[in-house]
Amino acid sequence: MTRVAIAEEMRAARDDFHDLVEHAPRSELRRRSNGTRWTNEQLLFHMLFGYLLVRNLLWLVRGFSHLPDAASRGFAAALDAATRPFHVVNYLGSLGGPRLLGRSGMERAMDRVTGSLVDLLDRADDRALRRSMHFPLGWDPYFHDVMTVEDVLHYATVHYRHHRRQLTLPGAQAP
């Protein structure tokens, strides 16, 4: 996938996120999502959280890419060992996130994070986008054993799209 395509899919997800948050009645946001224990509002926060997580993962990829391969392999193994606590924190964070930020705060956070990731894509050279590290396979079904910066940036929207299909908001199943 090209950097232009990744930037475009992030912008499209940002616009879609705004549309979902702005047009969903409060009662629909409180409805259960499909296939998760979250409400639609909590799931929307989790979709935003995927982009926020990616911003932080990029620091790890950049750092570990300068170390021997065994360093990131060992780090990924340690993270895999902590998969269960990660899933608990991931779940609980999405319970409280929408209360903390509210609708407008979630929209502003989505604007900021996607904007910063698109800016990074615009500024990065090809070498920087090819930096890589090992990832904890137990944390997410879309993680691969080794992921580049470019892979991680694309992952954010893959994660978004996966969870978007679980929303039970009217009209949310279209894209």
What is the CATH number for 157? 1.20.120.450
Look at residues 30, 33, 37, 20 and name the one whose alpha carbon lies nearest to residue 171: 20
User: Could you tell me which residues come within 8 angstroms of residue 6 by beta carbon, excluding any fewer than 6 positions away?
Assistant: 121, 150, 153, 154, 157
Q: Is residue 102 assigned to a domain?
A: yes
Q: In this model, does residue 175 exceed pLDDT 60?
A: no
Q: Is residue 169 assigned to a domain?
A: no
Name the token pair of 114: 């996607």
Question: Rounded mean pLDDT of 147-151?
Answer: 98
pLDDT tens digit string along 73-108? 999 999 999 999 999 999 999 999 999 999 999 999
pLDDT tens digit string along 19-75? 999 999 999 999 999 999 999 999 999 999 999 999 999 999 999 999 999 999 999
Q: Which one-letter amino acid corresponds to residue 149?
A: V
pLDDT tens digit string along 134-147? 999 999 999 999 99
Q: Is residue 54 assigned to a domain?
A: yes
Q: Is residue 32 assigned to a domain?
A: yes
Q: Give me the percent of the chain exceeding a pLDDT of 70.
A: 97
Q: Is residue 174 assigned to a domain?
A: no
User: Could you tell me which residues come within 8 angstroms of residue 127 by beta carbon, excluding any fewer than 6 positions away?
Assistant: none
The enclosing H or E element of 20 equals helix 3-23
Question: Rounded mean pLDDT of 138-167?
Answer: 97
User: Could you tell me which residues come within 8 angstroms of residue 5 by beta carbon, excluding any fewer than 6 positions away?
Assistant: none
Q: Is residue 172 assigned to a domain?
A: no
33: containing domain: 3-164
* Whole-structure pTM value: 0.94
